[in-house]
Structure 1
Amino acid sequence: MILNPDHITIAVADAGPAIEFFKLLGFRKGHVATIDGGVPARYMGMPAMKAQHITLVLEGADPHFEIQLLEFDPPPGTDPGAHPTNLRTRGFNHLAFRVDDIEAMTAHLVANGVTVLSDEMDYINRKLRLFEGPEGITFELVQQDGSEVPG
């Protein structure tokens, strides 16, 4: 039985801007490790992998939730594939965060230079809005209206 999400891992070219971005959403830097081969690299199927592994913890989250950043050394080349903010592609689509005040969080993000990708939408007892995050990932803010969400 699945209990709850634990973490999401995002590969980044430069961890600094991603750390600053996720600070805007209430994450703080936790564990930092250097992966230089060894057990973590073998586990991920890349025995020669070298990377910084930075854990960002969402403060006050219950249950606990993390974003884990991987900054590879050397950084991988540019991907000729579709940009990740294209929500019609297969694979990773978007990451969603629940908030208590979508308008206030939107204003906070916009004031800090974050790009808004959509107008606010009301859908299934929720307010939704999409943004562009670090490395071009798409993320969404979700505000529940207090009603029971249909299953």
Structure 2
Amino acid sequence: MITGLHHVGLSVLNLDAAIDFYTKQHAYNLSHRFDVEDNANNRAMLQLDNASARGAFLQGSLGCLELFEYACKPEMDQEDKAVYSAGIRHICLQSEISDRLYDGLVAAGATSHARPSGLGTGNSYVYIRDPEGNLLELEGTPWAPEEARRPWFAHVALVTPDISRLTDFYALLTGIDIHRQGSFGPSPKFDHVAGLSDICFTGAWSRLANAELEFWCYAHPSTLPGNRRSLATPGWNHICFESDDIDADYARLVAHGIELHGPPHMFGNARLFFGRDPDGNVFEVLQPSLDKQLTVAAMLQEANGHSVDAARTAYRNRLAATATEA
């Protein structure tokens, strides 16, 4: 069974610079570095002709980040990193409502077309790009607990030309259905946040134990089918889900005809396998074996993660009670 969203993977051009950026403002802490050998098993697992890479695992609050600097770096069209382009599009970090996180990351080399602003939800929103142009969302929340000492991972967003197909797939993978969906735009507020004009899109959300999956399909500008990306191509490159029984999850996905790179095997302190969703995005399923500090359960019990999870649960319960009364 899938127990949560463990980490998101990012292929970078400069590993040391990426570590430096993502550990600013205490968004992530460096857990460990590692090397990926160019051998037959790793080439098959990653579907690469040359699997050689340097990597780093960054521990965050309620979700982790895995960085790879591959020896072979395929070029990527910057259009493929547009807000509306199909693929794994951004991660979201939440904090209290203030510009502190935004200002700190901009000082560290991020760029943005606007400062944080509201959409009428009570939250603040802004898109920024890291020094290599990868998209992040920073979201300020009115329910942020005072005891939270660092930002926390809130969701990873996928943009797709077929939102029903993709949400159905991830419901099958995770065992969790969509809990909210809707259509948005056109509105100057959305245009301001996205840095585009007259945007219209549909969205959907799936809530896992520690974080959410967010899905977008843009009608204007239109989200077109994306190219099948190599894991080595710079940018957000995979989403990893934690399992408490990886063999059962592998057998379940095989039975449903899901495209997988191969069976589970050991890599570092975990057993894992990779596969592709219907859009060609890479997902990973991982079962930790030795390093129990990096499990979803541990993230939820860690002091910052626990306080955030308690505060957002109370906030969601208040919203649900209000909706029921209405």
Same fold (TM over 0.5): yes
Letter aligned with residue 116 of structure 1 = L
Matches within 5 A, 1:19-98: 19-24=167-172, 25-38=174-187, 39-58=189-208, 61=209, 63=210, 65-73=211-219, 75-79=222-226, 83-84=228-229, 86-98=230-242
What does 1:93-112 correspond to in 2, within 5 Å? 93-112=237-256
Which residue is equivalent to 2:267? 123
Amino acid of the residue matched to residue 76 of structure 1?
Answer: T
Count of residues in correspondence between the two structures: 143
2:286 equivalent among 131, 134, 142 = 142
Q: Distance in 2 between matches of 1:47 and 1:33?
A: 20
**Whole-Å Cα distance in 1 between the matches of residues 176 and 195 of structure 2?**
28
CA distance change for structure 1 residues 91 and 105 in 2, over 3 Å: closer, same or farther? same
Q: Aligned partners of 1:6 and 1:111: how far apart in 2? A: 31
Segment of structure 1 superposing worse, 14-23 or 113-122: 113-122
**Aligned residues of 2:241 and 2:285 also touching (Cα < 8 A):** yes
Deviations 1:15-55 (A, max 9, x none): 11111111111222122121213223421222321110111
The whole-number CA distance in structure 2 between the counterparts of 1:40 and 1:29 is 22
Please report how far the alpha carbon of residue 146 of structure 1 lies from its aligned counterpart in structure 2 after TM superposition: 4.0
SS of the residue 2:234 aligns to:
coil
CA–CA distance in structure 2, aligned partners of residues 14 and 55 of structure 1: 15
* CA deviation string 1:110-131 (max 9, x = no partner): 2112111134220221001001
Q: Quick one: distance in 2 between partners of 1:10 and 1:143?
A: 23
1:77-100 CA-partner distances (Å, limit 9, x unpaired): 445xx522x111111211100100
Unaligned runs of 5+ in 1: none
Offset of residue 57 of structure 1: 1.5
| Letter paired with 1:88 | A
1:147: how far off?
A: 4.1
Gaps of 5+ in 2: 1-25, 28-60, 63-152, 295-326
Q: 2 CA distance for matches of 1:10 and 1:41?
A: 19
Q: Separation in 2 of the partners of 1:123 and 1:69?
A: 30
Structure-1 separation of matches of 2:204 and 2:292: 36
Answer yes or no: is the 8 Å Cα contact 1:9–1:67 preserved in 2. yes
TM-score w.r.t. the length of structure 2 is: 0.41
> Contact 1:124–1:149 at 8 Å: present in 2 too?
no
Superposed CA RMSD:
2.0
Secondary structure of 1:134's counterpart equals coil
How far residue 101 of structure 1 moved from its aligned partner, in angstroms, is: 0.7
> How many angstroms apart in 2 are the aligned matches of 1:134 and 1:77?
14
